[in-house]
Chain A
């Protein structure tokens, strides 16, 4: 199993540009989440999904969109990038009935 994979590893955007961060898992996990990690602030939940077709907002959802058309994929869309979205983004998944979350390797995003 590849586990949780994320692409790209690094990305630089200009203010106002849009892009999609990709996340995929091959463990057939029902739950998937997106977090952002900023210095001194730990990980904060952006959006999450409890299954295909079902998504909900986390702690810091503004400026981000998600959709879940398949069990495997959970892309995160930045509609109009802002410097405040400069961060490291982690995707995670877990199986229903289990608390353990499996994290991807992260995407480092810089918005200039």
Chain B
């Protein structure tokens, strides 16, 4: 099965600086890579995702890059703000039409220092 590793487990950045979280996956057949944000006491919420036919995707201050050759993908948050403090999870999914299942990374606790 798929295995997803996520680094770092904790990350502290000054407000206004950028944050980068990296994930690697094991199965080269994986084709869908979402990122979820989990705030304290809440369920994870999708913030951005990327398919394997795309190398980069951006949504305002958030971007995700994918390197299929190296089997890794990264989340980039620019101009960080206090509300970006949360736990972030990456995930990967194998193509199994109608039955896709996500394998999650272990999470990164991001703290924005005012």
Contact = CB atoms under 8 A, between A and B. Distances in A.
Nearest to A104: B43
Interface stretch (A14-22, A39-47, A61-69): A39-47
A110 to B, nearest CB: 16
Contacts, number: 50
A99 B43 contact: no
Interface of B: 1, 4, 6, 9, 32, 34, 36, 41-46, 49, 89, 93, 98-102, 104-107
Contacts of A106: 41-43
Interface string A29-51: 00001000000111111001010
22 contacts: A40-B9, A41-B106, A42-B89, A43-B44, A43-B89, A45-B101, A50-B98, A56-B99, A58-B101, A59-B1, A90-B43, A90-B44, A99-B32, A99-B49, A99-B93, A101-B46, A101-B102, A103-B36, A104-B43, A105-B42, A106-B42, A106-B43
